[in-house]
C-alpha cells in the first residue's frame, strides 16, 4: 500500500484494516511493525477502538492483555515487551555475569531501545517484561466505549479491578503531596516525549548516558525523531530510576524530573468518571464511589489552576513554574469532564481556528512558537490521536460543530497523508513510522461515526 491511503471511504477503511491486521500480534497490537515491536499503553486503548469496528471480541482482548502487564503496585506500564526471541531469552542470565554482559547489546540490538534490561528486567502480573513508567490512562474510557457498544458484562467486569488499581496508583504513589494530579517522572509518560514543555525540566538532567542505541532511526529519518541530546537525558533518567529500584513515591516526591501534564491529568479525570459509570452499571458500588471521587479530585485540581486565558499548561514541579508553551496539552485538557464552558470554548477556538489549528488536524505546538519544528515529532506535527481526543472532548462538552470539523480534518489527513505516525501541519505530508496502528484505528472509528 502506498503512503497515500485511498481516495474513497471504502478504500480508506480497507487500508486501515490492513494496517491493523499487520500490527496484530494475536492478543495485542504493536504500534508499528518495524519501529515499535512491543505493546504500548495508550496505543492499545486506541487500537481497541479500531478493533471494535471489525471484531469486538478482539477489542476487549486488547485491553485485557494491556492490564495483564500490570505491576504489583498498580502501575500499568508504558511498554509490555513482546516475548523474547530465543537468543534474547539468555539476556537476563548474561546480565548477571559481568564478563558476558557486554554481549547483551548485540543480542537485543535489532528491535527497540530501551530494551527490558534498562528497566532492570521487571515483570508484569502475566510474566511479560515491562517498563517501570506509565502512559496516559485512556484504557477506562475505551472500556466504557466498548461496553456501550457491545454490552459484554463479562469482559467489562474483568477490567474493573486492574483499571481501578492503576488509577489508585496514579493518585496514590504518584501524588505524594496531595496535589490532586499525578506527577509524571519521565517525559515518555506524557506520550509526548520531546514536547517543548519538557525542555526546561530536562535541561537540569546531566546526561550520564553518552552512547545511546537508536534503532528508531533505522526506519525513520533522524530529522523526524527526538534528538540525541534528548535521548541521552531520557536514558539517564531510566538508568538512574533502575539504579534506585524505581521507588515510585520517592521519585514523584523528590526525583530529578517531576511535572504535571494537563493532558495526562484530564485523561485521568475522564477515565475515572468513565470507570465509575462502568462500575455502577455492573453493580460494583464501592468501586464506583472510589472512582467518582478520584475523577472529581482531578477535575477540581485542574479547574483550580486554569489560566487567565481559560487554558491549562504544564508545570515543572522542581521550580514550581508553569511552562510558557502553548501545546496540544492545553487542548487535551478539554478531555476532563467538568470544565467551565469558558474553558472549553477557549480550546474549541484554539484547535479549529487558533494557534493549534491546521487543515489536517490539531498541531502539537502553537504555529508561531519559535521552537516549532513542523517535522520533528512532538514539536510541531499533527498527531491523529490528539485530533481524535480533541474531537471527542468537544463533542462530549456539546461543541458538536467544532468536533465534526476536526473529524473531517482527521479523515482528510489520513486519506491524503497515509497511515503514518504524524503529519506536517501545512502540507499534510505523512511522516515517522509507517503502518501506524492508532492512525488506522482512529480513522476507522471516525469513519464508523463513533
Element (H, E) at 440: helix 437-447
CB 157 to ligand 9WN: min, Å: 27
The candidate with the shortest Cα–Cα distance to 75, out of 157, 163, 155, 159, is 163
Q: What x-and-dash track marks residues 190-229 binding ligand 9WN by CB under 6 A?
A: -x-x----------------------x-------------
Q: Is 62 in the site for ligand 9WN (CB under 6 A)?
A: no
Compare residues 36 and 399 and give the one whose CB is closer to ligand 9WN: 36
The candidate with the shortest Cα–Cα distance to 113, out of 195, 209, 196, is 209
Q: What are phi and psi of 123, to 5 degrees?
A: -125, 150
Strand ranges of the sheet holding 39-40, from the earlier edge strand across to the other edge:
39-40, 79-80, 129-130, 122-123
For this structure, is 193 an active site residue?
Answer: yes
CB 263 to ligand 9WN: min, Å: 11
Q: In 10 A of CB 157, how many CB atoms?
A: 15
Compare residues 111 and 157 and give the one whose CB is closer to ligand 9WN: 111
Q: Looking at 284, 291, 421, 435, which residue is catalytic?
A: 421
- Write the DSSP symbol of residue 224: G
Q: What x-and-dash track marks residues 135-174 binding ligand 9WN by CB under 6 A?
A: ----------------------------------------
Instruction: Report how far residue 193's alpha carbon sits from residue 100's, in angstroms, rounded to the nearest whole number.
Output: 33
CB 269 within 8 A of CB 262: no
Count interface residues toward ligand 9WN (CB under 6 A). Answer: 10
The candidate with the shortest Cα–Cα distance to 175, out of 246, 234, 248, 247, is 248
Residue of 40, 119, 169, 246 that binds ligand 9WN (CB under 6 A): 40
Element (H, E) at 321: strand 321-322
Compare residues 74 and 77 and give the one whose CB is closer to ligand 9WN: 77
Residue of 17, 28, 36, 434 that binds ligand 9WN (CB under 6 A): 36
CB 39 to ligand 9WN: min, Å: 10
Please, what's the b/e burial string for 206-230 (b: 16 or more CB within 10 A of its CB; e: otherwise)? ebebeebbebbeeebeeebbbeeeb
Q: Is 432 in the site for ligand 9WN (CB under 6 A)?
A: no
Q: Is 417 in the site for ligand 9WN (CB under 6 A)?
A: no
Q: Is 78 in the site for ligand 9WN (CB under 6 A)?
A: yes
Sign of CA dihedral 65, 130, 180, 340: negative
Cα angle 92, 95, 97 (rounded to 5 degrees) comes to 125
Q: Is 422 in the site for ligand 9WN (CB under 6 A)?
A: no
For this structure, is 153 an active site residue?
Answer: no
Q: Is 114 in the site for ligand 9WN (CB under 6 A)?
A: no
Q: Is 118 in the site for ligand 9WN (CB under 6 A)?
A: no
Q: Is 43 in the site for ligand 9WN (CB under 6 A)?
A: yes
Compare residues 34 and 200 and give the one whose CB is closer to ligand 9WN: 34
Residues contributing to the site for ligand 9WN (CB under 6 A): 31, 36, 40, 42-43, 78, 188, 191, 193, 216
Which are the catalytic amino acids? 193, 421
Amino acid at each position: 500500500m502506498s503512503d497515500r491511503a485511498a481516495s474513497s471511504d471504502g478504500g480508506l477503511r480497507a487500508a486501515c484494516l490492513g494496517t491493523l491486521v499487520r500490527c496484530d500480534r494475536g492478543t495485542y497490537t504493536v504500534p508499528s511493525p518495524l519501529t515499535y515491536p512491543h505493546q504500548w499503553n495508550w496505543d492499545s486503548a486506541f487500537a481497541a477502538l479500531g478493533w471494535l469496528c471489525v471484531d469486538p471480541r478482539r477489542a476487549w482482548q486488547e485491553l485485557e492483555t494491556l492490564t495483564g502487564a500490570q505491576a504489583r503496585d498498580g502501575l500499568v506500564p508504558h511498554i509490555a515487551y513482546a516475548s523474547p526471541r530465543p537468543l534474547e531469552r539468555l539476556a537476563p542470565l548474561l546480565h548477571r555475569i559481568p564478563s558476558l554482559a557486554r554481549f547483551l547489546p548485540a543480542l537485543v540490538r535489532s528491535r527497540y531501545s530501551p530494551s527490558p534490561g534498562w528497566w532492570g528486567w521487571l515483570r508484569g502480573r502475566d510474566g511479560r517484561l515491562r517498563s517501570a513508567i506509565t502512559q496516559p490512562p485512556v484504557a477506562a474510557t475505551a472500556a466504557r466505549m466498548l461496553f456501550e457498544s457491545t454490552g459484554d458484562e463479562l469482559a467489562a467486569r474483568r477490567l474493573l479491578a486492574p483499571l481501578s488499581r492503576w488509577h489508585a496508583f496514579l493518585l496514590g504513589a504518584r501524588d505524594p503531596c496531595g496535589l490532586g494530579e499525578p506527577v509524571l517522572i519521565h517525559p515518555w509518560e506524557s506520550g509526548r516525549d520531546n514536547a517543548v514543555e519538557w525542555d526546561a525540566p530536562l535541561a537540569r538532567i546531566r546526561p550520564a548516558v553518552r552512547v545511546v542505541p537508536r534503532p528508531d532511526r533505522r526506519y525513520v529519518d533522524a530529522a523526524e525523531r527526538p534528538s540525541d541530546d534528548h535521548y541521552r537525558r531520557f536514558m539517564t533518567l531510566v538508568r538512574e530510576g533502575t539504579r534506585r529500584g524505581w521507588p515510585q513515591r520517592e521519585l514523584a516526591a523528590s526525583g530529578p524530573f517531576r511535572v504535571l501534564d494537563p493532558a495526562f491529568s484530564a485523561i485521568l479525570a475522564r477515565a475515572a468518571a468513565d470507570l465509575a459509570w462502568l462500575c455502577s452499571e455492573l453493580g460494583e458500588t464501592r468501586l464506583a464511589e472510589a472512582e467518582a471521587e478520584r475523577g472529581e479530585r482531578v477535575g477540581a485540581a485542574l479547574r483550580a489552576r486554569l489560566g487567565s486565558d481559560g487554558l491549562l499548561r504544564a508545570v515543572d514541579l522542581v521550580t514550581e513554574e508553569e511552562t510558557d508553551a502553548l501545546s496540544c496539552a492545553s487542548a487535551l485538557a478539554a478531555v476532563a469532564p467538568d470544565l467551565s464552558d469558558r474553558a472549553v470554548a477557549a480550546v474549541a477556538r484554539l484547535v479549529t481556528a487558533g494557534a493549534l489549528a491546521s487543515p489536517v488536524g490539531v498541531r502539537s505546538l502553537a504555529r508561531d512558537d519559535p521552537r516549532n519544528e513542523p517535522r520533528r515529532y512532538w514539536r510541531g506535527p499533527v498527531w491523529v490521536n490528539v485530533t481524535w481526543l480533541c474531537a471527542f472532548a468537544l463533542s462530549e462538552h456539546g461543541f458538536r460543530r467544532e468536533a465534526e470539523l476536526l473529524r473531517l480534518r482527521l479523515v482528510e489527513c489520513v486519506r491524503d497523508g497515509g497511515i503514518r505516525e504524524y503529519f506536517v501541519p501545512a502540507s499534510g505530508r505523512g511522516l515517522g513510522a509507517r503502518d501506524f496502528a492508532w492512525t488506522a484505528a482512529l480513522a476507522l472509528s471516525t469513519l464508523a461515526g463513533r
